[in-house]
Amino acid sequence: MTQTSTTTRLAPHPDRLFPADPGARAVARTVYDAVKDAPIISPHGHVDAALIAADQPFPDPAALLITPDHYVLRLLHANGVGLEALGRADLSGTHHEPPGRTIWRQLAEHWDDFLGTPVRYWFETELHDVFGLDQAPSAGNADAQYDHIADLLASPAFRPRALFDSFGIEVLATTDGPADDLAAHAQLAADPGFTGRVLPTFRADAVFDPTRSDWRPVVASIAEASGIDTGTHAGLLAALRARRRYFIEHGATATDTGVLDAGSAPLSAGERERIHAAALRDPSSVTESEATAYRHDMLYRWAEMSVEDGLVMQLHPGVIRNHHTPTLERFGPDTGHDLPAVGSFTEPLRPLLEAFGTAPGFHLVLFTVDETVFSREIGPLAGFYPAVYAGAPWWFIDTPAAIGRYRSAVTDSASFTKTSGFIDDTRAYCSIPARHDMARRADAAYLASLVVTHQISEEDAVHTARRIVSDIPRATFKL
């Protein structure tokens, strides 16, 4: 489906996402106005610290806004555009890389296929607010818009650090491998000219699963980085503790973990040493049930370590990675075919929560891509366990409508205090302000709905909106 040829104005409305009813809209405006200019706290994302440390100009518009963003890739792919035409390297070696201008045109010509999606919504805000465009992308203006953005990217005001300031970012957490030396973070922290906070997050998914092809290399890299032998499971845990301390010394306040399921049953020391040794010797000798047991135990240990060292534990089970093997083989991971699985928390997390659910200072933030668990599992868990926080809707459900459904489902059981605040989870640097603005608007709309139905006062709504963008993420993530 291609765009109609007429030019459409691009002018994001100042009242967008607010309720239509004039009374409710006035309240939403008041609530939003109280937070619209608040600094951005981004405690969970995938921007590379080296990008900000190096502060080099961005490459062309497509390489910045399309090729690395799996949200954009998947919708273009769903509408018939091959990933090779979007600049993704073809690992089969037959690749002919299209020019950025050609990639940009794909987006422009498929603009209609994004109608009503949050991806288009963010893009519109971003193109207008960051890049000063006033027409919607179309076949007719694709070249001109490409050139306009490319020119801007060459200017000093569009370098990563300048954007960090103009976006109003106060805290930006990155996601980093367990053996990372965090040199970019250290460089930024030591730089008196850079006043933002760029914090690492400890993520070591590979160590959970001894059947992953990268398990042995990652375990070895942790040994090297920590100087601790990981030949035993006890050694691995000691090495992980050391690496976590290293991250804490570099500003980290949290870990992040993605696993297939939230099973958390602990193993005896003997059992975990046995499986660990077998996996080091010959991964193919580890059965599926042994691998699962090892993984579940590791999730339990993760919580145990958080109780010890105070790092906030983020957990997002339930994503099926790389659903389409031919695409994985040809274009690698993060190409738009990670898909949601059925969510489950209450039963699988029970061993972990029995042990640590009331441990002082332990924070466990649960994320899901299956909305059904908000009212059935995450809200009720956050509404009893001091440790549990209801993570913001994320990835597929990071949308205005889904944020409203999340608030409605979770507030009933857990109010606002036990939530995470907004999480942009993005590798699309320039979309950060648009995403946070969307969340502030969606929360203002939800709070306004409570005000106009006289469930809370307008004063409470404004106070809560302020907490959501500041006190709540600071407290939840120990910032």
Minimum distance from residue 339 beta carbon to a copy of itself (Å): 5
Which of 255, 256, 290, 265 is CA-nearest to residue 276? Answer: 290
- Compare residues 206 and 353 and give the one whose CB is closer to a copy of itself: 353
326 contributes a contact to a copy of itself by CB under 8 A: yes
> CB of 440 within 8 A of CB of 418?
no
Minimum distance from residue 311 beta carbon to a copy of itself (Å): 19
Strands, E, within 391-441: which ranges? none
Q: What is the radius of gyration, based on Cα positions, of the chain?
A: 23
Residue 389 pairs in a beta bridge with 365
Q: Of 74-133, which residues contact a copy of itself (CB under 8 A)?
A: 74-75, 77-80, 112-118, 121
- Compare residues 168 and 383 and give the one whose CB is closer to a copy of itself: 383
What is the per-residue DSSP string for 141-200?
A: GHHHHHHHHHHHHTSGGGSHHHHHHHTTEEEEE--B-TT---HHHHHHHH-TT--SEEE-
Q: Which of 263, 317, 379, 391 binds a copy of itself (CB under 8 A)?
A: 379
**Cα gap 355→77, rounded to integer Å:** 45
- Compare residues 253 and 476 and give the one whose CB is closer to a copy of itself: 476
Minimum distance from residue 24 beta carbon to a copy of itself (Å): 5
134 contributes a contact to a copy of itself by CB under 8 A: no
Minimum distance from residue 25 beta carbon to a copy of itself (Å): 9
Q: Are strands 197-199 and 254-257 parallel, antiparallel or unpaired?
A: unpaired
The owner of tokens 């075919």 is 337
- Compare residues 243 and 337 and give the one whose CB is closer to a copy of itself: 337
Per-residue CA distances from 51 to 54, 56, 163, 185, 267 (Å): 5, 7, 12, 11, 41
Minimum distance from residue 92 beta carbon to a copy of itself (Å): 14
**Cα gap 142→402, rounded to integer Å:** 31
SS3 139: helix
Q: Of 19-78, which residues contact a copy of itself (CB under 8 A)?
A: 19-21, 23-24, 74-75, 77-78
Q: Which of 162, 165, 323, 333 binds a copy of itself (CB under 8 A)?
A: 323
Q: Running DSSP on this structure, what letter comes out for residue 99? A: P
The owner of tokens 């946070």 is 436
**Cα gap 68→87, rounded to integer Å:** 9
Minimum distance from residue 452 beta carbon to a copy of itself (Å): 4
Segment interacting with a copy of itself, rule: CB under 8 A, options 211-219, 260-268, 344-352, 425-433: 344-352
Segment interacting with a copy of itself, rule: CB under 8 A, options 33-41, 164-172, 185-193, 377-385: 377-385
Per-residue CA distances from 92 to 86, 332, 437 (Å): 16, 10, 40
Residue 151 pairs in a beta bridge with none
Segment interacting with a copy of itself, rule: CB under 8 A, options 98-106, 173-181, 219-227, 397-405: 397-405
Q: Of 400-459, which residues contact a copy of itself (CB under 8 A)?
A: 400-402, 408-409, 411-418, 449-450, 452-457, 459
Q: Of 345-364, which residues contact a copy of itself (CB under 8 A)?
A: 346-347, 350, 353-354, 357-358
- Compare residues 187 and 408 and give the one whose CB is closer to a copy of itself: 408
Segment interacting with a copy of itself, rule: CB under 8 A, options 141-149, 286-294, 323-331, 421-429: 323-331
Residue 349 has which token pair?
């997390």
Minimum distance from residue 319 beta carbon to a copy of itself (Å): 10
